[in-house]
Amino acid sequence: AGDENGPRYVNAAAVIAHAQILAELDRRDDALSAIDAALAMGFGGEAIPQLAADLRAGKEIAFDVIREPAEGASEAVLLLAGALSREQADRRALVYTRVAQHMSPLVEEAALLAADILQQQRQYDLAAKEYAKIEPTSSLFDTAEIGRSDALFADEREDEAAEVLTALIRKSPQNADVRVALGDLYRRTEAFDKASVAYTDALDLLGERAGWFLYYSRGITFERTDRWDQAEADFRKALEIEPDQPLVLNYLGYSLVELRRNFDEALGMIETAVEQRPEDGYITDSLGWVLYRIGKFEEAVAPMERAVELAPIDPIINDHLGDVYWMVGRTLEAEFQWRRALSFEPEPEDAQRIRRKLEVGLDVVLAEEEAEAPVTETANDDG
């Protein structure tokens, strides 16, 4: 990474080594510039910002990133392992990583790289054990524990994964990344109330530094727990931070359609999302569905057929295409799509509705649903 004339780092150790050498040469401003460049490239952890703080405070900086020849040789081998990993040559990368660990067990980046490779190979238990090798005193400990939780979750050990993160929060209460990871875990297990709390804690810690994805994630948890006003506020906040973000536009637009609200705005949002991600079947489905909802059935056919091409085994998208076909008089094709949707094991409530449509037709189902709807239901905002 880096521009044509700037530094090109391969790992955090290289960043620290470069900055320490510059400091020993009494080029502290250059060292700080190098660190800023590395942070812009995405290098994280606590050690690099701490080194920057020490430089600004005028503290003496010693070159200690490599303390003995074995560590230097291990770092060199680890660089090769990292390069192979980026080239998807995982088996060879893992061999070189093991060599680096054998040469110098103190090289913590080797354990993290080995864990990452093992996780990509779906050897989740072994990955978790590699992450566990990082000591609590290490600046990489929080990163390792988040990785260990992810590996345990992938290994279907959800309770253990949550315990790792809750313990880490007690150790590092100011680390927002841990709260986000816990929120993600709860969201994936559909514990949406708990996820909302974790995301809120992260947002409180981050303040103005929070990115669009965190608001988007919390908005999903609010929407899934019927707190629509809070959900909409988060989605719109996410769009303030990242205008025209397709994931947010699609989720907000689709939600508005389902709520029978702001159809014109929803259609505009989803059209913008489709322009940015034309190969995304779920966003294309949203476009077809909003056209269906506003009664433009003929116009809905093409995007809905395209959505099924892009996501052929999704039960909801196939069900939607069946509804569109029914509304344009293609009843046999509609029934075929509904049966196809059932073959992909939709949620029980959705499956029950599809079977009812096959039994009596969509017109009757819609009439039944309208008769059962609460009398307080209002028309959409667009009339």
CB of 28 closer than 8 Å to CB of 55: yes
Of 34-38, 131-135, 242-246, the poorest mean pLDDT is in 34-38
CB of 149 closer than 8 Å to CB of 198: no
What secondary structure letter does DSSP report for 242? S
Tell me the HSE value of 177 on the side-chain side, using a 13 A CA sphere. Answer: 14
In which band, very low, low, confident or very high, does the pLDDT at 91 lie, cut at 50, 70 and 90? low
Q: What whole-number distance in Å separates Cα of residue 300 and Cα of residue 286?
A: 10
Q: What is the maximum alpha-carbon separation in the chain?
A: 82
pLDDT of residue 130: 84
The residue-averaged pLDDT of 229-242 equals: 96
Give the rounded percent of residues in the chain with a pLDDT score beyond 70.
Answer: 76
pLDDT top residue among 354 and 370: 354
Tell the burial category of 38 from Cβ atoms under 10 Å away from its Cβ (0-12, 13-18, 19+).
buried
CA distances from 198 to 143, 168, 179 (A): 18, 13, 5
The per-residue pLDDT for range 309-360, each reduced to its tens digit, is 999 999 999 999 999 999 999 999 999 999 999 999 999 999 999 999 999 9
The per-residue pLDDT for range 161-207, each reduced to its tens digit, is 999 999 999 999 999 999 999 999 999 999 999 999 999 999 999 99
295 phi, psi to nearest 5 deg: 85, 10
The yes-or-no verdict on residue 141 having pLDDT over 50 is yes
The residue-averaged pLDDT of 46-71 equals: 66
In which band, very low, low, confident or very high, does the pLDDT at 232 lie, cut at 50, 70 and 90? very high
pLDDT of residue 41: 61
The per-residue pLDDT for range 95-109, each reduced to its tens digit, is 445 544 444 454 566
- Residue 221, classed as helix, strand or coil, is helix
Q: What whole-number distance in Å separates Cα of residue 276 and Cα of residue 377?
A: 34
Residue that is written with structure tokens 């908005």 in the block = 219
Name the token pair of 362. Answer: 């969509």
The residue-averaged pLDDT of 362-377 equals: 79
What secondary structure letter does DSSP report for 209? G
Instruction: Tell me the pLDDT of the chain averaged across its residues.
Output: 82
pTM of full prediction above 0.85: no
